[in-house]
Amino acid sequence: MGKTRSSSSSSPSLPLRWWRRTLVLVFIGFVAVTFIVWDRITLTRDHTVEVLRLNEELIDLQNLLEDLKAYLRDLGLSIQLSDRVSEPAKESIGQDDPTNFRRREQVKDAMIHAWSSYEKYAWGQDELQPQTKNGIDTFGGLGATIVDCLDTLFIMGLDEQFQRAREWVANSLDFNKNYEASVFETTIRVLGGLLSAYDLSGDKVFLEKAQDIADRLLPAWNTPSGIPYNRINLAYGNANNPGWTGGNSVLADSGTEQLEFIALSQRTRDPKYQKKVENVIKELGRTFPLDGLLPVYINPHTGATSSSIYTFGAMGDSFYEYLLKAWIQGNKTEAVKHYREMWETSMEGLKSLIRRTTPSSFAYICEKNGRFLSDKMDELACFAPGMLALASYDYGPGEAEKYLSLAEELAWTCYNFYQSTPMKLAGENYFFSAGQDMSVDTSWNILRPETIESLFYLWRITGNKTYQEWGWNIFQAFEKNSRIETGYVGHKNVNTGIKDNMMQSFFLAETLKYLYLLFSPPSVIPLDEWVFNTEAHPFRIVTRHDHEENFGALGQQKPQVLTKTRPNWI
């Protein structure tokens, strides 16, 4: 007993000793883990700070490089600085950084502002007039802004807005209008917007509506040559050309429906849409000139072109864009080889229109009037650098560099269309005269997207962040000068700053979408899976069908839903 008491008072019992040791071990373990975690956090923070610093240095270096380029241009020299996307560049554009995140959130905020202003003052009408706070039916009352920006809302993850737009399309969109619609505008904005919304969401209501509007447009192609009339009554189907074209069809209006109608045939398994628009290219290809440049007027009865203006600007532009993109949409296969060949021929023509200014050696694309070049370029032609960059991807090293180099030079010119005005907003077109570089001719700015579009492609293809910086500068000019309390407006004059009263639907459909994508990782609408129509509506690239039998057999099947669930990029 005594032994037991004495032993318990001098040393603790066995379980107590075990507990003490365990507690000491737990304490030591806790201290060690805390130290390791703290050490890792510090390391990660240091790493993040270092990456941000390096990013900033990279931007400074790129700016320096641009200064150097400009300096060399002043001396009449030029250097080739970028290459096809190198692996490190691919990696760097694959990463999302805090600056990009912040910037695309601000672009999204701009979209929310534009969209809510439209919802508040112009819901259901084609476009918003922000100064007078009302809607206007510029396209016959088809809710153009809603349909045109369904995909922008979807891509930006603006779910509630997308749902409201979707309900309007399902319940209120009515194409049975006694209205002479532009076949081109209705195709690229309305049909294009619906098809893109279908590809992104898999919601069949969009495909049904797409088929409805396409069926109403289709009689426009019933001409002796197959070249479509450019206007059609949506309720009665009678088609014609406006008086100001002298009864002719316009090149861009007739040669910019291929992507949409081919996409519709693929999704409905009905070949009739594809056939109509592909005939146009075949017809134009029959007498395609050696330089691949077509005048802007075509006779829909004979298919003959009449010598007039040749341009990559208004009335010509997207015809050339679609030659390249129809080839991409068709998986670059044998069946669509003729598109690529025609496009390449046209690029010989484009190169023959290139001149450079003095003193700063800005490259620009002239227009041709008959046989004479005029030193004028539309901002609309600023889609061309993006097209050239996109095409460069499929060339071997030497040719790719040439295309990319020209694309970069032209993009620099287009960026300077913006930078050279007091408001840092581009005018509608520019003249170039010896010793004076560029001067604005038509001085309005209607929130157009072409330059931003090209910056987007150039950034995706080269990984050069300078293009993001340029896009950001342009965005800030829009924020500063075009944003008002009730939406976004254009300017009647970029020299004086007088505002107009229109928020064009393409500002939401294109300008803001390309800006958002400029600051998003390339996995958001990757260019090897999607092709953008000329209104910035992405269509998924799917298998092409060329034979009637394929269409016939598949015509019995239900349309394939391309994307059933929401993509995981948001």
Closer residue to ligand DMJ (CB): 278 or 453: 453
Give min distance, CB of 511 to ligand DMJ, in A: 8
Give min distance, CB of 257 to ligand DMJ, in A: 12
Phi-psi category of 292—alpha, beta or left, where left has phi over 0 and alpha has psi -120 to 50?
A: left
Give min distance, CB of 155 to ligand DMJ, in A: 17
Residue 316 sits in the site that holds ligand DMJ (CB under 6 A) = no
Binders of ligand DMJ among residues 472 to 511 (CB under 6 A) are 506, 510
Q: How far apart are CA 252 and CA 249, in angstroms?
A: 9
Give min distance, CB of 261 to ligand DMJ, in A: 16
CA atoms within 13 A on the CB side of 148: 32
Residue 255 sits in the site that holds ligand DMJ (CB under 6 A) = no
Residue 534 sits in the site that holds ligand DMJ (CB under 6 A) = yes
Per-residue binding string, ligand DMJ, 422-461, x by CB under 6 A, is: --------------------------xx------------
Residue 513 sits in the site that holds ligand DMJ (CB under 6 A) = no
N- to C-terminal Cα distance for the chain? 76
Closer residue to ligand DMJ (CB): 85 or 455: 455
Q: Are 497 and 481 in contact (CB under 8 A)?
A: yes
Q: Summarize the chain as % helix, strand, coil (round to 5).
A: 55, 10, 35
Q: Could you tell me which residues are beta bridge partners of residue 181?
A: 232
Closer residue to ligand DMJ (CB): 188 or 296: 188
- Active-site annotation holds for 428: yes
Q: Whose CB is nearest to ligand DMJ?
A: 534
- Active-site annotation holds for 549: no
Q: Could you tell me which residues are beta bridge partners of residue 430?
A: 377, 440
Closer residue to ligand DMJ (CB): 437 or 450: 450
Give min distance, CB of 171 to ligand DMJ, in A: 26
Give min distance, CB of 434 to ligand DMJ, in A: 29
Q: How far apart are CA 298 and CA 256, in angstroms?
A: 14
Question: What b/e sequence results for 403-414 when a residue is b if at least 16 CB atoms lie within 10 Å of its CB, and e otherwise?
Answer: bbbbbbbbbbbb
The position carrying tokens 């300078």 is 466
Closer residue to ligand DMJ (CB): 193 or 349: 193
Token pair, residue 259, equals 């992507």
Give min distance, CB of 534 to ligand DMJ, in A: 4
Inter-axis angle of helices 450-462 and 397-419, to 10 degrees? 140
Q: Of these residues, 126, 185, 321, 408, which one is catalytic? A: 185
Closer residue to ligand DMJ (CB): 257 or 270: 257
Token pair, residue 74, equals 């002043």
Closer residue to ligand DMJ (CB): 188 or 503: 188
Residue 535 sits in the site that holds ligand DMJ (CB under 6 A) = yes
Binders of ligand DMJ among residues 361 to 390 (CB under 6 A) are 380
Token pair, residue 530, equals 């999607």
Tell me how many residues contact ligand DMJ (CB under 6 A). 9
Closer residue to ligand DMJ (CB): 186 or 466: 186
Residue 240: its H or E element: strand 239-240
Q: Of these residues, 127, 257, 278, 317, which one is catalytic? A: 317
Give min distance, CB of 538 to ligand DMJ, in A: 14
DSSP 68-91: HHHHHHHTT-------S--HHHHH
Closer residue to ligand DMJ (CB): 278 or 317: 317
- Tally of residues, the chain: 570
Q: Are 248 and 241 in contact (CB under 8 A)?
A: yes
CA atoms within 13 A on the CB side of 245: 23
- Active-site annotation holds for 119: no
Alpha carbon 435 to chain centroid, angstroms = 34
Among 254, 274, 318, 445, binds ligand DMJ (CB under 6 A): 318
Binders of ligand DMJ among residues 181 to 220 (CB under 6 A) are 188
CA distances from 349 to 286, 293, 340, 352 (A): 17, 6, 14, 5
Q: How far apart are CA 147 and CA 125, in angstroms?
A: 11
Q: Are 298 and 254 in contact (CB under 8 A)?
A: yes
Closer residue to ligand DMJ (CB): 303 or 471: 471
Q: Of these residues, 126, 450, 500, 510, which one is catalytic? A: 450
Q: How far apart are CA 417 and CA 419, in angstroms?
A: 6
Give min distance, CB of 505 to ligand DMJ, in A: 8
- Active-site annotation holds for 379: no
Q: How far apart are CA 190 and CA 15, in angstroms?
A: 80
Give min distance, CB of 318 to ligand DMJ, in A: 4
Q: Of these residues, 428, 437, 453, 535, which one is catalytic? A: 428
- Full 3-state SS string of 411-456: HHHHHHHHHCCCCCCCCCEEEECCCCCEEECCCCECCCCHHHHHHH
φ and ψ at 136, to 5 degrees? -145, 140
Alpha carbon 48 to chain centroid, angstroms = 31
Where in the sequence numbering do the catalytic residues fall?
185, 317, 428, 450
List of residues contacting ligand DMJ (CB under 6 A) = 188, 318, 380, 448-449, 506, 510, 534-535
